[in-house]
Amino acid sequence: PCVVVDVHEVILAWHLPAVLSEERQRDLEEAARLLQPMLVVGSPQKHRSGKTIGRDDPSQFLSTEESKDFRGIVTLSPAWYQAGHEGPQFQPEISASLKPTNKRQEGRLCLRKIAETCAIINACMIVMHPALYEAGFEVIRDLRSKPDFYPVIMEWVSIFNGIQVIVNRRTKPHVDGHTRSPWYDVVCSVGPYTAAIFGLRKLGVYLAYPPGTLIALCGSFLEHEVPDFDGERICYAFFMRDAIHELLGKKSPGWMYRTQYINLHCSPPTTAPT
């Protein structure tokens, strides 16, 4: 285990290798397989530079033969803005993968399957970034007062307002959008794979990424990648959309500093008077 700390003592990333139990890992694998009918491998998009962009760029996924047709992405959220529909004139919605009107209910079955793991990640966030945990908790609590998000919001355990499930994809260097620099995303990886490295190339940091690993990082600030692996890999990415926090009037938590962590969790014991 390790943390990545900058010259200002900001904790930019936490690395917890193989921290999830085998039981938790099995639950995450089984939940992802429930989602197989919903997984999408999209069409390549082109930037003005001519480079292919987009997380669902098909060239990043294992081939159909390699993956046995188990590959793609699906996003789960109790309340988010559809692509291109952010702003005061729009309202957030339950993601299509979870809508009660969707004939396919695998998304909600997945939520139930991963509930305990979500609770574990919540507990990790209390230690890693208490202010971000509090903000996320308040957002989910407030959403539970809004009937538009029923019944999904009542089944949502995570303090993060979105979870992306990514199956059998190599990940190019990128930063995450629609969040804020001081906020952590959490990624965990499971499956029968080996030889995966989580790269923070611009820092010259390369982290072992075996099954069951949790990494929390400032994903919109740190460029990160998983360039390759052997076998079959499932990634769960937990994120917070800043637009939802803004909608509910939540104050944005700042950076987490090493000194804050020490003061909160490493204070010396009080000596009893003799």
In sequence order, what DSSP letters do the residues of the chain get, joined into one string? Answer: -EEEE-TT-BEEEEEETT-S-HHHHHHHHHHHHHTGGG-B----EE-TTS-EE-TT-GGGBPPHHHHTT--EEEEE-SSBPPTT--STT---B--TTT-TT-S--HHHHHHHHTHHHHHHHHHHHHHH-HHHHHHHHHHHHHHTT-GGGTTHHHH---SSSEEEEEESB-EEEE---SS-TTSPEEEEEESSEE--EEEEGGGTEEEE--TTEEEEE-TTTS-EEE---EE--EEEEEE--HHHHHHTTPPPP-PPBHHHHHHHH-PPPPPPP-
> pLDDT tens digit string along 205-260?
999 999 999 999 999 999 999 999 999 999 999 999 999 999 999 999 999 999 99
201 belongs to a structural domain: yes
Please give the structure tokens belonging to residue 117: 């793991």
- Identify the pLDDT of residue 4: 98
98 belongs to a structural domain: yes
Is the separation of the CB atoms in 139 and 245 below 8 Å? yes
- Identify the pLDDT of residue 123: 98
The span from the CA of 52 to the CA of 195, in Å, is 26
Q: Which of 10-24, 43-57, 253-267 has the lowest mean pLDDT?
A: 43-57
273 belongs to a structural domain: no
pTM of the model: 0.91
- Identify the pLDDT of residue 89: 66
Residue 88 has pLDDT above 90, yes or no: no
Picking from 122, 79, 82, 97, the residue whose alpha carbon sits closest to that of residue 35 is 97
Picking from 69, 9, 13, 3, the residue whose alpha carbon sits closest to that of residue 185 is 13
Residue bearing the bigger pLDDT, 123 or 82:
123
- Identify the pLDDT of residue 47: 42
Residue 23 has pLDDT above 70, yes or no: yes
Residue 9 has pLDDT above 90, yes or no: yes
- Identify the pLDDT of residue 54: 52
- Identify the pLDDT of residue 272: 55
Is the separation of the CB atoms in 210 and 170 below 8 Å? no
Residue 48 has pLDDT above 60, yes or no: no
233 belongs to a structural domain: yes
- Identify the pLDDT of residue 136: 98
207 belongs to a structural domain: yes
> pLDDT tens digit string along 167-195?
999 999 999 988 999 999 999 999 999 99
Q: Which of 28-37, 62-71, 133-142 has the lowest mean pLDDT?
A: 62-71
* Arithmetic mean of pLDDT over the chain: 91
- Identify the pLDDT of residue 35: 97
203 belongs to a structural domain: yes
Half-sphere exposure of residue 247: CA atoms within 13 angstroms, side-chain side:
22
120 belongs to a structural domain: yes
Place of tokens 């945990």: 133
Number of structural domains (the chain) is 1
CATH number at residue 41: 3.60.130.30
Cβ of 148: how many Cβ atoms within 10 Å?
12
> pLDDT tens digit string along 55-78?
557 889 999 888 888 999 999 999
- Domain residues for the domain of 107 are 2-261
274 belongs to a structural domain: no
